[in-house]
Structure 1
Amino acid sequence: MRKDDIKKAVAILGRAYARSCDILKKRSDPFQTVISTALSAQSTDDQVDRVTPALFRRYPTPEKLARAKISDVEKVIKSVGLYKSKARNIVAAARVLIERFGGVVPSDLCELIVLPGVGRKTANVVLIKSFGKAAMPVDTHVFRVANRIGIGVGKTPEEVEKKLISAIPEKKLAEAHFWLITHGRVICHARNPECGRCPVSNLCDYNVRGLGAGSKKRPLDARSGRAG
């Protein structure tokens, strides 16, 4: 997609999903954001939201979670996918926060990814939600939509992140993250995207190549951004 078209597409998505950024109006607690986002891998928001109230009532601080028995944490988060490995990771992350950062969640990406179970996506989510920094977390929705539309084509989340950072003004990065997620959830589904409802269909590489809804051509591979 041409630079001018990328700019247009981002602006259109911004108008369409402006309300999705309301979450940025209030900073979230850094510790809770680290733990909640770490739990979200291969799980739905609803699954995570069902366990975090009890989890944070029992372990409201890094100090308390660091002292927790992993088996006890497992019981609290059991309904979340991969709960055993996640329980180990969040307890280990709390211990690193205490031992290395004095119990304070760092506001630097390179320091955040030192925490067990915290990768670039989780770290970037913490940066935008808790510290108000410009960042572009690339989850499955962002990866798919950016590749499919053509505004950030890449084979890995890191490549897509770099492309989006270079294409989108810094002051709009955090907002654009939520626009792309919402578009992926509402219209640009992994399977059977609703191209007829898409506000950027006339600019979208996927649709322009004749791969949109109703096309007989091969569908886009949601993981690679290429026709499968």
Structure 2
Amino acid sequence: MVIALRNLSKSYETAEGRLEVLRGIDLDLGAGDNVALTGESGSGKSTLLHLVAGLDRPDAGEIVIRGRDISKLDDRGRAAYRRTEVGLVFQQFNLIPSLDVAANIAFHAKLAGRHDPVWENELVERLGVGTLLTRYPEQLSSGQQQRVAIGRTLAARPGLVLADEPTGNLDEANGDAVLDLMLSLSKGTGSTLLMVTHSQKLADRLDRQLHLRSGKIA
């Protein structure tokens, strides 16, 4: 089992009091699973992804990734987990302004010790960013930045890919191409894909769908 969530809960303090966002989530995902996470705004989808990514800690419960509870790791341990085991495709691109597109795409793979120029060239071609390699993030449109961010994530061939609306800044053709690439990686390498999406069309292309409602899996 790649992901095992047990009785996972998370809440935040607000001006109106404590807000329960996740309430006792249980979830198992295996190698090669590709799963769409759907739900209304505020249902807890992004919060769940952030917890699995090690970007936040739960109030209660376990987040077991390949047999290790990452919620028990300190900040350094969780940073190492994100660097070596998980690929993040979030709505914030977080490209490095001082690096050109080619260096941005290679960055995560080099950190993880999995730099593969042949695979990176394939990603560049399939993402359609070959003419952008010497440009810097500020010279790119939001859609181009999204494709570069996805390339950077996939270049390291992570065993777990967490994606939050990964095609939200792309037109339909590029969105389909990006999802094709992510599914190809999942099927070809056995990586696990958990993707938040509001698009039923995209959700229908994944093998399984989970719906969050009021902090629980419906």
Name the structure with the higher strand share.
Answer: 2
Structure with greater contact order relative to length (CA < 8 Å, sep ≥ 6): 2
Name the structure with the higher helix share.
Answer: 1
Range of TM-score over shorter length:
under 0.3
